């Protein structure tokens, strides 16, 4: 006969009870944990929304008051006003979402706005939100509450030029060797400087720098100098290139004085192409411009076998201020003059002035055989007829065209020339290429000649991308 052990009675019941308690605990943890995570997500959404609302108010103020990156300073009155605009906007958005936040972050429940204007220039809006979640089951362990603290940071960047602050910038990411078959030194990317003859040509850039997303090369006896605002040679970094090993001086590294001043350095900065908003073009214009005359803003289309939308061969072409949309070439030949109405060659140009934008979805810009061209973009205070303030020539990325600024020493270009996939050629004997300020941004840029080219860079005369904001944390 088998005897039963009475001590084993009730063990199953004990295991069931223990398992049931554990199961209830897991269920309680899941419920309370879910409540806590849900509240935290809601808190994070509230912090994100408040930070973005504050950043939007700051960005809107900077945009409306035309605060440029070149003049951005944390002590500037306009910048201070932009900072102060963030606080009420962030608080109001938080309130609308059921949160009450204060000025400052000492209690981890508020908004704080910071400004940086040293090497980088931006404003940050940081919001912290702290809430308490009332739990259902965890009160048995911790008193029934869980504290959540979340944060969000939005950054505002002021209006900045498309060339990253450089007077000359090549956006091509590729470098290739010269065409050895004909030695024409044509490159698929980068910037190429070439001196001709027995002269000592130079390009002098004042107030800006020179940058290549790929390579930088020189051939012959040309000197490239960048000066700061005081007129002294700029500090190291004013001339730079992105691709490792991308500097080629054709064996002229040891010339005295150096052919580059300051000497180009390798940089990790890469300028991404910017998609400028396409302007609203005006009515079609059917005008014969061969012998000059006065023309109105509007849309000009190619006619004839040469594909010219505007072709001036003789006389003076006077362009009224505004937007000119060209579906074809702009060509000016020897003996022709092109100018803005009210600003004949040699006239003084005020800081605030009317001008033109040549928007070129198709075609090339060609100064052929020594034509005299005086063109300038409008400044921000005086746009008159849909032109893009600060933008002189804009070839969108769909136009892999050619821009020849020619070699007439009387030529004068003021504003931004932006052609992210085009070839820009500056050759011949231009002297003072610009009087108010010029920015050249293209895919490939070739500068050559036998004289000295002077090129000033003045930010308030150039096109700037709009103020931007983003959530960074």
Q: What is the pLDDT of residue 26?
A: 59
- 182 or 229: whose pLDDT is higher? 229
Q: Provide the pairing of β-strand 315-319 with 452-456.
A: unpaired
How far is 435 from 221, CA to CA, in rounded Å? 26
Q: What is the pLDDT of residue 233?
A: 95
Q: Give the 3-state secondary structure percentages of the chain, helix then strand then coil, rounded to 5.
A: 20, 35, 45
Q: What is the pLDDT of residues 54-65, one digit of tens each?
A: 999 999 999 999
Q: What is the pLDDT of residues 163-179, one digit of tens each?
A: 999 999 999 998 875 44
- 395 or 208: whose pLDDT is higher? 395
Q: Which of 168, 220, 218, 166 is nearest to 193 (CA)?
A: 218
Q: What is the pLDDT of residues 12-21, one digit of tens each?
A: 766 666 666 6
Is 54 in a helix, a strand, or coil?
helix
Quickly tell me which residue has 């400004």 as its tokens: 115
pLDDT at residue 373 greater than cutoff 60: yes
Q: What is the pLDDT of residue 435?
A: 81
pLDDT at residue 181 greater than cutoff 50: no
pLDDT at residue 123 greater than cutoff 60: yes
pLDDT (average), residues 191-216 = 83
Please, what is the angle between helix 11-64 and helix 77-96, to 10°?
A: 140
Bridge partners of 25? none
Q: What is the pLDDT of residue 258?
A: 80
How far is 142 from 66, CA to CA, in rounded Å? 54
pLDDT at residue 143 greater than cutoff 70: no
What does 167-227 look like in DSSP terms, one character per residue? SEEE---------TTTT----SSEEEEEE-TTS--EEEEES--EEESS-EEEESS-EEEEE
């Amino acid at each position: 006969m088998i005897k039963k052990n009475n001590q084993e009675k009730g063990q199953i019941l004990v295991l069931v009870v223990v398992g049931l308690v554990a199961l209830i605990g897991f269920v309680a943890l899941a419920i309370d944990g879910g409540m806590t995570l849900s509240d935290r997500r809601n808190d994070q959404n509230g912090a994100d929304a408040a930070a973005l609302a504050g950043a939007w108010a700051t960005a809107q103020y900077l945009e409306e008051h035309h605060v440029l990156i070149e003049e951005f300073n944390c002590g500037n009155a306009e910048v201070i006003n932009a900072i102060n605009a963030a606080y009420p906007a962030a608080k109001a958005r938080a309130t609308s979402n059921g949160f009450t936040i204060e000025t400052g972050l000492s209690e981890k429940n508020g908004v704080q706005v910071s400004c940086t204007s040293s090497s980088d220039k931006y404003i940050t809006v940081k919001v912290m939100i702290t809430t308490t979640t009332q739990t259902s089951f965890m009160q048995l362990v911790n008193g029934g509450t869980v504290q959540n603290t979340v944060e969000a940071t939005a950054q505002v960047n002021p209006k900045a030029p498309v060339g990253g602050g450089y007077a000359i910038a090549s956006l091509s990411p590729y470098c290739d060797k010269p065409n050895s078959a004909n030695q024409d030194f044509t490159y698929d990317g980068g910037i190429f400087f070439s001196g001709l003859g027995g002269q000592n040509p130079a390009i002098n850039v004042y107030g800006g720098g020179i940058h290549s997303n790929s390579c930088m090369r020189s051939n012959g006896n040309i000197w490239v100098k960048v000066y700061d605002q005081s007129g002294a040679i700029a500090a190291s970094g004013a001339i730079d290139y992105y691709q490792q090993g991308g500097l080629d001086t054709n064996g002229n590294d040891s010339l005295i004085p150096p052919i580059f001043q300051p000497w180009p350095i390798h940089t990790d900065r890469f300028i991404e192409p910017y998609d400028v908003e396409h302007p609203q073009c005006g009515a079609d214009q059917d005008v014969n411009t061969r012998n000059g005359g006065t023309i109105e803003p509007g849309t000009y289309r190619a006619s004839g076998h040469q594909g010219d939308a505007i072709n001036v061969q003789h006389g003076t072409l006077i362009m009224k201020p505004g937007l000119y949309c060209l579906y074809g070439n702009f060509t000016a030949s020897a003996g022709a003059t092109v100018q803005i109405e009210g600003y004949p060659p040699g006239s003084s140009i005020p800081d605030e002035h009317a001008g033109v934008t040549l928007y070129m979805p198709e075609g090339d810009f060609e100064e052929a055989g020594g034509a005299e061209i005086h063109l300038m973009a409008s400044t921000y205070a005086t746009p008159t007829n849909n032109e893009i303030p600060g933008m002189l020539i804009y070839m969108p990325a769909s136009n892999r065209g050619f821009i020849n600024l020619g070699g007439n020493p009387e030529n004068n270009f003021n504003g931004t020339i932006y052609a992210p996939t085009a070839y820009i050629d500056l050759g011949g004997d231009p002297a003072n290429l610009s009087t108010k300020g010029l920015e050249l941004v293209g895919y490939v840029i070739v500068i050559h000649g036998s004289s000295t080219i002077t090129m000033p860079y003045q930010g308030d005369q150039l096109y700037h991308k709009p103020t931007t904001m983003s959530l960074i944390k």
